Amino acid sequence: MSKAPAPQNYFSNPWFYFFIFLTANGFLSYGSPPSGTRAWIILAGLFIPLLFAMALKPLSPPVKEPLFQKEILPPASLWIWILLAGAAVFIRFYKLTTLSRWPLYDEGFVGYFAVNLSQKWDWSLFYGSSQAPPLFIWLLSFLFKGMGPSLAGLWFLPAFLSALAVPLGYLAARQFFPRSFSFLCSLFLGVGFWGFYVGRFAQMPMMVLPAECLVLGGMGYFLKQKGEADRKKFLLFFGFAVGAGFYIHTSWAAVAGFVFLTILFILRRKLSLFSFFLFPLLIILSPLMASAFQNGYGSYLRDLWAFGDGNSLTAQLKIAGAYLRELFWGINPGEFSPELVGGGLMNPIWVSFFLLGLLELLHGFRRPLYRWLLLGLALFLLPGILTKTLETFRILPLLPVLIPVCVLGFYRLALSMSAVRPWLLLTVLMIPSAGLDFYHLLGPYQKVWDSPVHWKNSLKSIERSRANEILRAVYVKRGPGCVFSDFMPGFSDQTLDLSTSSLKTRSDSLKPAWAACLVNINYQHYLSQKFPNGKSYWLSPDLSVPDGGMMLWVLPLDPSQQETFAGWQKASLALKPFIFQSLSYVHGRPWRQVLEALAEAEPSFRGDPLLRSFYWEKMADTYLRLGLDFPAAIRSLQTGLDEGVPSAHLYYRLGTLYAVSRENAKSQTYFSKAAHSPFNQTNASQFLAGREKHP
């Protein structure tokens, strides 16, 4: 096996740059340098060396055979493949239901629609406030139909899709690269942090990775077809496949654009063949386009769009820089993505490989494959940097083109050392690389959820997680029961309902042994008097919630309480249309239909003071959340106090609304009523004390 001659001086030696990049990236990933120091490290450790290397001749003498065509590794034996597959599967399924502790709110909404579909199919093509495409939810609904709704099922699907991407990534790479290069691509994909990190989130973008590998592999296969008849047949199938990707996630537009431009360039001298690709793509897109037109699709994307009414140029540059920071070094806790705290999506070894590979692309820019990879890197960053917020998974399509660039960087190192076997070098570098990535997932990522601050920033409900643990202990002791988790005001977080599905009574003939209700802690006095055999669990004592936060009330059911329980069941069922409308509401649209769905549930909340309070709390919250209608919210809370349970947190919320409305006398009156309630866990007393100190 031929080796490239060793470079003659340090400044053309790839190892010289590798160690500079590795040192700089190590400080940026795992250190906490001040912003000024960080800027100097980026300038001196990354930017200047890159410019210097670009100004020199290529990092090795030019050869006729492209770098990526070299077979630098012996064929991987079966046990190597088994070891890789085992590591890839193990890290994706390890602590499947406990590593992330609790689902994100968005995962709860995905689970909610999947559960509904598993019970009654509706052929909707857009779901939720983000108007998400349907394919991931469809697949999850089939899974729930077979195994029942659960957190295990929720997280099984993304873990499986992430694992599936590994063999698909290898097959895709083989269409462009030789065996050694393709094996390294599958190795990076199998045990690299980004690859198994995405398998921990039940969200629509998780389908992008395996689908993109499949489509890019198909494009490589197409390039090998010489006969026109074979090309026509394949383009018909390929157009359908690319069009189907639009049913996965909005970021697929970047993948489709990449494929579209590539096919158009290849067929530029035979544009008549392009119609065999375009027509099936438009055919499969037509139902989605018709539904988008009918349902006014696009308001969510307009809200994300960085221009027009979006961020200022300075703020947008900060967001664009944050995407690069998240990719290479990670984001500081509490800033944008708090879960990435042990480095970025790429560890320092990966980033150093990538920068060497980027130099290879720039030095060999005349090679069509290199230009194609550079185009992919640029296009797949656009869904991130053209939006006004940071969300990791918008740039997920970057991974299948980023990994070959990293492998090119490894190739450049391996071919510069004629005395060292590449497989030995691979072992020396990949073991610490995989170790850093495994540690990132099982260490800092897992530990970050110990802090309630990160739960709030990431839209995870620590109270519902705590309630879930309590309910599982109750289930073990008492058997199946019934959980009411939708009476709380808020945006209909469905995570607890999904997690407790397996704890609930499933047969109409089997009476539940207990009932549990998620309520505000200030209802404790009323509930303890009405149900002396019940037990309360305060879920928010350490969270500094102004109105006291949540309580789980667990009640062993006996015949004397069946009437009350039946009323709760009726009210809970009546809320389902409202929950659906609330989760489906798209920002900027008329919100009256959400309010009307709640109004239609009102008769089911009659006859029970507690249910009346629940109802008017939700009505006030809906007026505030969707319409910022303070007078209507005040009227709703006042009705809840008149018809329901005069609880401290209702007085506190009225006091807060009057304070915001600058009606200070009324505000002080209601804060005083909250402070002097029989049971008070609100901040009303502290507020009044502050008023007395600073009138």
For the chain, the domain total comes to 1
Mean predicted lDDT score pLDDT of the chain: 88
E strand or H helix that includes residue 278: helix 271-294
Within 14-77, residue ranges assigned H as helices are 14-30, 35-42, 48-55
pLDDT mean over 430-439: 92
Share of the chain above pLDDT 90, in %: 61
pLDDT mean over 86-96: 95
Burial profile 383-399: b = 16 or more Cβ within 10 angstroms, e = fewer:
bbbbbbebbbbbbbbbb
How far apart, in Å, are the Cα atoms of 322 and each of 38, 340, 344, 500? 13, 12, 11, 37
More confident residue, 293 or 681: 681
Q: How many CB atoms lie within 10 A of CB 599?
A: 14
| Domain-embedded: residue 133 | yes
User: Where in 140-248 does DSSP place strands (E)?
Assistant: none
Would you place residue 598 in the very low, low, confident or very high pLDDT band (cuts 50, 70, 90)? very high
pLDDT above 80 (res 304): no
Is residue 295 within 8 Å of 253, Cβ to Cβ? no
In the prediction, which pLDDT does 625 show?
86
In the prediction, which pLDDT does 419 show?
66
More confident residue, 527 or 391: 527
pLDDT above 70 (res 609): yes
| Domain-embedded: residue 209 | yes
| Domain-embedded: residue 56 | yes
Residues in the chain: 695
pLDDT mean over 469-480: 93
In the prediction, which pLDDT does 131 show?
87
pLDDT above 50 (res 693): no
| Domain-embedded: residue 521 | no
Q: For 617, phi and psi rounded to 5 degrees? A: -60, -45
**Which candidate, 147, 150, 188, places its Cα nearest to that of 169?**
188
| Domain-embedded: residue 211 | yes
Range of the domain at 222: 10-449
In the prediction, which pLDDT does 4 show?
47
pLDDT above 50 (res 336): no
**Which candidate, 644, 488, 500, places its Cα nearest to that of 575?**
488
More confident residue, 648 or 694: 648
In the prediction, which pLDDT does 690 show?
66
| Domain-embedded: residue 385 | yes
pLDDT single digits (tens) 5-38: 444 455 678 999 999 999 999 999 888 788 888 8
Residue with tokens 């290529």: 58
DSSP states along 412-461: HHHHT-TTS-HHHHHHHHHHHHHHHHHHHIIIIIHHGGGSHHHHHHTT--
In the prediction, which pLDDT does 238 show?
93
| Domain-embedded: residue 588 | no
pLDDT above 60 (res 170): yes
In the prediction, which pLDDT does 648 show?
95
pLDDT above 60 (res 339): no
pLDDT single digits (tens) 151-165: 999 999 999 999 999
Q: Could you tell me which residues come within 8 angstroms of residue 462 by beta carbon, excluding any fewer than 6 positions away?
A: 102, 452, 455, 456, 539, 543
Report pTM: 0.91
DSSP states along 293-307: HHTTTTHHHHHHBSS
**Which candidate, 221, 191, 231, 182, places its Cα nearest to that of 76?**
182
pLDDT mean over 349-364: 94
In the prediction, which pLDDT does 338 show?
44
pLDDT above 90 (res 453): no
Amino acid at 512: P
In the prediction, which pLDDT does 314 show?
82
Pick the range with the lowest mean pLDDT from 1-15, 111-125, 293-307, 364-378: 1-15
Residue with tokens 């704890």: 503
Within 99-150, residue ranges assigned H as helices are 105-119, 135-147
pLDDT single digits (tens) 218-250: 999 988 888 888 888 899 999 999 999 999 999
In the prediction, which pLDDT does 64 show?
62
| CA–CA distance, 164 with 89 (Å, rounded to integer) | 9
pLDDT single digits (tens) 551-592: 999 999 888 777 888 899 999 999 999 999 999 888 777 788
Pick the range with the lowest mean pLDDT from 282-286, 484-488, 590-594: 590-594
Pick the range with the lowest mean pLDDT from 55-59, 225-229, 301-305: 55-59
| Domain-embedded: residue 390 | yes
